[in-house]
Amino acid sequence: MVSRLSRFPLLRDALIAVTAVVLLLIGVWFGGHPSWLPAPFRQVFVSRTADERLVQTTLDLIAREYYRPVNTTALLNSGLESAVGSLNDPYSHFYPPTLYRSFQQETNPQVAGIGVSVAAQPVQGGIQIEEVFQGSPAAHAGLQHGDIISAVDSHSLAGQTVAQGSKLIRGTPGTAVRLTIIRHGKLREITLRRANVTVPVAASKLLHYRGRTLGYLEFTQFTQGSANELRQQVQRVLRAGAKGLILDLRDNPGGLLAQAVGVASLFIKSGTIVTTRGRSQPTTVYTALGDAIAPRVPMVVLVDRGTASSAEIVTGALKDRGRAKVVGTRTYGKGVFQELFPLPNGSALDLTVGEYFTPNNQNLGGGGVKEGRGIQPNVYVYDNPNAPSAHALKVAEQTVAAEIR
């Protein structure tokens, strides 16, 4: 059976247009005569309309009456930033369009450079290469771990900070950069062409402690797909004969909740990983995904005050479930999580929407968005300002080696 409106499209379109006009007039009428509305609808309608009028009237007055021209869009963005700032929440932010675009670039795992990571502290003569990324310009040029970059073009790096040297090395993709390299005391110059390089968030190597082979896993951020990257590194060290694992989450600021569940699931076969609770969303219990590849290999998690958010979720799950010992200092103590809401004009709202709890029902924060106690390590390693990384790693090696049977 065919409806009458579908047989007469002109009549249908006319009725739609008339209906739209009638609804518009009804809206205008109630906007001027809210007392005609039922009480529940009147309160919502009047409140929202009054707030919108207040904001628009204020912006119009400033734009028209202020003694010099004003960009009302910028004014509105500043007002929204202040509104979010009044929450006194260090994790919630309003990003105007330009700042949001910059934020997206910062969270992009691609950077323009030569494809190396460097030591955190400068060495005599320059900065030292820690890792060369596969397929990068540096790899094609034959750069190696331990090489010292002593100059970039005509700029010596002697006495420069690592940040200053790194800034000189990075640049526009396709541009050339000349490096002076020191290897085994000998100088040589090479010219590379910068490119967009994908920075790996997971890396691994084998360590040997008193005859025992250990797999060292460095994990820097919980970005999209990072759990799979770590999975590959775990498989790599296990195939190479690792009998114990060290998961280094120092200075890991966290990231995506789903990736935290994925990472913990590499080492925990079943059961709770984390529980989240929020005012506008139901309590959710995240359990292991059931695809663990190293559920019984002795393990240590290496942490410090820079271990936060998703990195704390993983650490808390491994510790509470008795799956790993924690070595280092206490973690940051962040007990809340955020959700990013893109807005129509290209801006975005990054808003705290809930709290998370470890399997033992512990919230790591200080009550709401305040910094809390964090996770207390099983083996506390005091920071050595001269060589904090090396000292903590040695303790981690000793701890996990003692667990190997």
| pLDDT tens digits, one per residue of 301-358 | 999 998 999 999 999 999 999 999 999 999 999 999 888 899 888 889 999 999 999 9
Q: Where are the alpha helices (DSSP H) in 159-249?
A: 162-169, 226-239
Task: Check whether 23 has a pLDDT greater than 60.
Answer: no
For residue 273, the enclosing domain spans 202-401
Residues 19 and 122 in one domain: no
Q: How far apart are CA 267 and CA 380, in angstroms?
A: 23
Task: Check whether 366 has a pLDDT greater than 90.
Answer: no
> For residue 127, is it within any domain?
yes
Residues 116 and 264 in one domain: no
Of these ranges, 35-39, 100-104, 268-272, the one predicted with the greatest mean pLDDT is 268-272
pTM: 0.70
Task: Rounding to the nearest 10 degrees, give the CA dihedral for residues 112, 232, 217, 313.
Answer: 90
Residues 284 and 207 in one domain: yes
> For residue 102, is it within any domain?
no
- From residue 140, give the alpha-carbon distance in Å to each of 128, 136, 192: 18, 6, 9
Residues 170 and 218 in one domain: no
Q: In whole numbers, what is the pLDDT of the chain averaged over residues?
A: 84
> For residue 105, is it within any domain?
no
Average pLDDT over residues 177-200: 91
Of the residues 198, 214, 232, the one at which a domain ends: 198
Residues 115 and 236 in one domain: no
Question: CA nearest 208: which of 403, 379, 398, 405?
Answer: 398
pLDDT digits (tens, 9 = 90+) for 2-18: 333 333 344 444 444 44
Average pLDDT over residues 186-190: 94
Strand 284-287 relative to strand 272-277: parallel, antiparallel, unpaired? antiparallel
| pLDDT given at position 24 | 45
The domain tally of the chain equals: 3
| pLDDT given at position 50 | 76
CB 325 within 8 A of CB 402: no
Q: How far apart are CA 405 and CA 402, in angstroms?
A: 8
Residues 119 and 73 in one domain: no
Of the residues 173, 198, 223, the one at which a domain ends: 198
Residues 318 and 353 in one domain: yes
Residues 243 and 392 in one domain: yes
Sign for the CA dihedral angle at 241, 245, 251, 254 comes to positive
Tokens of 273: 């990983």
The CATH number of the domain holding residue 172 is: 2.30.42.10
Residues 258 and 367 in one domain: yes
